[in-house]
Amino acid sequence: MKLKLTRLKIIAICVSIFYAFISLFVGLSLDASYEVFKDDNPIALIARAMGFNEIIPTSQTWIMLCFLLIWLVIYVVSVCYVNSYAKNKEESPINSKYILIYAIILFICLLLSIGIATLFFLPNNFGIYKDSLIFTFETLFFALVITLFICLLCFSLVGLYINIKNYKKPLFSVENTPKEEVRNHSLNDTFANKEDNKNVNVSASPQIIQSSQGLNNIKDKEELFKGLTKIDKEYFNRGNLNLDSTNLSLSDICKNLQIYLAKEERLFYDLNILRSFIAGLSSSSLIILEGISGTGKSSLPRYFAKFIGEEAYFEAIQATYRDRANLLGYYNEFTNTYMETDFLKSLYKASIYPNKLNFVVLDEMNISRVEYYFADFLSVLEYPEDSRKIRLMELPLDYKAPNNLKNGYLEISPNNYFIGTCNKDDSTYTLTDKVIDRAIVIDFKNYGEEIKFNEDVKPIILSYNTLNNLFKNAKDNKDYNLTDNDFKAILALLKEMETLFDVVIGNRILNQLKNFTPVYVSCGGTKDEAIDFMFSTKILRKLDGHFESSLKQSLNKLKQYLKSDFIFNMNESVKLIDKYIRRLQ
């Protein structure tokens, strides 16, 4: 688990480091040799007035002091980490269990710091050990007093500045709204106007503000959406981006990408993987890269984005993700601000720059249930491109929202592509049919073997409009599209699947196949490979988790059908069927 830094944690770590430097300064002031500071420096004078002995520290004394200070900083960082761990587990970080953990960590840090420092006194310098301890703890005491004094002074000055600046404003804001008017409405009451919400996805997340009456104190957009407003200002300063995009064909893009990844990043992908990835972008806004760890799932979107002049955004999915607030943030009623996430900012920026491709990577997507935190997107990505919106919160009528946040709705622009990476192990959840049916799933089965190329290629600039036009041209090419006879053969195969396994396929998968095939062929593949890929990853995998003995006979019949009666070559599907048969033996 990574340490999630908050402002309070940063302050605690910074204060501990500041205290360490103050301690070194105090130690030099108390040094009775007075080689750095004079004997009449204020700290030395106060020490003598308090009856402290004048001690000349040795090198071992300084080592002891430094070890204590280093382990003090380590202790503070460790406490911050445990605090994050407790919150990640949705537990109170100040209950008896965690207080005991803090105490154990303190004991270990003290034991290690003093214990290691003691070794430097052995075997001949143990006589000065007592004076070294006295000098060390006198130094730490004086440093603590000075640090507290400086912190109190800074707090007082900041408080004085804030109150002088806002002296005309009341100390506490008082709302005069009657209690019955500020009650929380139900979700149905809040969004009762059906016409306003037509073709717009509205989540049932509890973080949505139920009533604009709770937002009376909001005066301008910067107070609520500071991050999104900053993006607006950046757009205003830079203007829209007119990208000088590549003139390469889809086939050339795939080949150049393979060479670039191999020579520049030492990543080796089969061309069929790259063709499936790019063709998948034409069929769905959700691509899932599935396989064992270390096969290059996360690297593909990262370096594909780099190859085309973009930068992929990575969202590390946590096991605690339960609803959309983990991705899109939520409104904080105490601070009157919307807690913006980097995920939200990435989507908003994509709506500001609609010609830039935006790859949002959901890393380890299935470590939590996808249907929980990604439900809004699974729904809204089914809508027409100009109707893909998610409501963040209800805003007052007179509120000036960020430019692309109309009436509290976040636009999910078509230049957004969501790439999910999924590991196959016992610590993750199985992807359900609801997710798989909406996505293009690419299975990373093996580690890429080294491929050597003689030619060199350079990164390109690829805009959303250029990529979309390449997709459109491929779909307009009759030679690349499925013919009526092709569809008849495919429908007959689906009928066979229904007869043998009672598996019914909807129009969504057929539409994806219709869009995927011509683009895959344009990338340099064949119709056979495209149909084989879609059948094995979208339809055959519906048999995963079935272990009935009667299934073996049906699988053999399907295998025979594919090899004898089906007009396309289905090598990968036959291999997967053989795998299922072996599993049943």
Q: What is the mean pLDDT of residues 132-139?
A: 85
The answer on pLDDT for 530 being more than 50 is yes
**Who has greater pLDDT, 190 or 377?**
377
pLDDT of residue 538: 92
Reduced to 3 states, what is the DSSP secondary structure of residue 426?
coil
Of 220-229, 234-243, 252-261, which range is least confident? 234-243
Q: How far is CA 281 from the centre of its chain?
A: 20
The answer on pLDDT for 188 being more than 60 is no
Q: State what percent of residues in the chain have pLDDT above 90.
A: 48
Strand ranges inside 306-427, DSSP E: 313-316, 330-332, 337-339, 358-363, 389-391, 409-411, 416-423
**Who has greater pLDDT, 43 or 416?**
416
* Token pair in block for residue 562: 């594919």
Between CA 387 and CA 413 the distance in angstroms is 9
Q: What is the mean pLDDT of residues 159-165?
A: 80
- Neighbouring CB atoms inside 10 A of 264's CB total 15
DSSP string, 375-400: HHHHHHTTS-GGG-EEE-----TT--
pLDDT of residue 120: 78
The answer on pLDDT for 459 being more than 70 is yes
Q: What are phi and psi of 466, to 5 degrees?
A: -65, -45
**Who has greater pLDDT, 252 or 426?**
252
pLDDT of residue 239: 59
**Who has greater pLDDT, 236 or 31?**
31
Reported as a pLDDT band with limits 50, 70 and 90, residue 110 is confident
- Candidate ranges 130-134, 179-183, 382-386, 557-561; pick with highest mean pLDDT: 557-561
Q: Which of 16, 143, 23, 22 is nearest to 77 (CA)?
A: 16
CA torsion sign for 531, 537, 538, 542 is: positive
pLDDT of residue 446: 77
The answer on pLDDT for 566 being more than 90 is yes
Reported as a pLDDT band with limits 50, 70 and 90, residue 187 is very low
pLDDT of residue 373: 95
Between CA 557 and CA 581 the distance in angstroms is 11
* Token pair in block for residue 266: 């030492």
The DSSP element (H or E) to which 270 belongs, if any, is none
Between CA 390 and CA 369 the distance in angstroms is 20
Tell how strand 440-444 and strand 286-291 pair up.
parallel
- Neighbouring CB atoms inside 10 A of 34's CB total 16
Please report, for the chain, the start and end positions of each structural domain, with discontinuous segments joined by +.
7-165, 250-444, 477-584
The answer on pLDDT for 206 being more than 60 is no
Q: Which of 160, 80, 71, 78 is nearest to 116 (CA)?
A: 71
Between CA 460 and CA 259 the distance in angstroms is 13
The answer on pLDDT for 568 being more than 90 is yes
DSSP conformational letter for 458? -
Task: Give the model confidence (pLDDT) of 317-334 as tens digits.
Answer: 999 999 999 999 999 888
Between CA 411 and CA 414 the distance in angstroms is 9
Between CA 510 and CA 106 the distance in angstroms is 62
The answer on pLDDT for 510 being more than 60 is yes
Axis crossing angle, helix 507-522 with helix 527-534, rounded to the nearest 10: 140
Mean pLDDT (the chain, rounded): 85
Q: What is the mean pLDDT of residues 406-424?
A: 93
- The CATH code of the domain at 250-444 is 3.40.50.300
The answer on pLDDT for 181 being more than 70 is no
Largest CA distance in the chain: 102
Q: What is the mean pLDDT of residues 75-102?
A: 81
DSSP string, 525-570: --HHHHHHHHIIIIIGGGGTT---TTHHHHHHHHHHHHHHT-SS--
C-alpha distances (whole Å) from 245 to each of 117, 155, 352, 468 are: 62, 53, 18, 12
Q: State what percent of residues in the chain have pLDDT above 70.
A: 87
Reported as a pLDDT band with limits 50, 70 and 90, residue 243 is low
pLDDT of residue 395: 86
Reported as a pLDDT band with limits 50, 70 and 90, residue 161 is confident
Q: Are 139 and 23 in contact (CB under 8 A)?
A: yes
pLDDT of residue 495: 95
CA angle 168, 170, 174 (to 5 degrees): 150
Contacts of residue 460, Cβ cutoff 8 Å, sequence gap at least 6: 246, 248, 253, 256, 307, 308, 309
The model's pTM is: 0.65
Axis crossing angle, helix 7-30 with helix 59-88, rounded to the nearest 10: 170
**Who has greater pLDDT, 435 or 57?**
435
The answer on pLDDT for 506 being more than 60 is yes
pLDDT of residue 37: 85
pLDDT of residue 217: 54
pLDDT of residue 334: 80
CA angle 248, 251, 256 (to 5 degrees): 70
Reduced to 3 states, what is the DSSP secondary structure of residue 332?
strand
Q: What is the mean pLDDT of residues 373-395?
A: 93
